[in-house]
Amino acid sequence: MKQSTIRLGYLESICQVLALKTENLVMEHHTIWQLFQEADETLFLQLAPHLFTTKSTQEPFLAEPLESSQEGYQYFKHLVEQGG
């Protein structure tokens, strides 16, 4: 049986928090992940409404919101360390 991998994702609305231009979101992917790696809990709390997790690898993607809490922050850091 295949084991599912939980992946971290973000909504396009994250551009508003990070002051990015929507049309450059794909080009900004590396920068966004770099910010994730450096994010403290305060930044995470600002980003949390725009973050989700998914186990899906094929459409339709089933996503779950990332909890905006200290536990959510720890889970976020774990996912970022694992490569998303």
Give the pTM: 0.83
Model pLDDT for residues 11-70, shown as the tens digit of each residue? 988 888 888 766 667 788 888 899 999 999 999 999 999 999 998 778 888 899 999 999
On the question of pLDDT at 2 being above 80, the answer is no
Residues 60-79: b if buried by 16+ CB within 10 A, e if exposed: eeeeeebebeeebbebbbeb
- 66, 75 in Cβ contact below 8 A? yes
pLDDT band (50, 70, 90) for residue 1: very low
Model pLDDT for residues 59-82, shown as the tens digit of each residue? 888 899 999 999 999 999 999 998
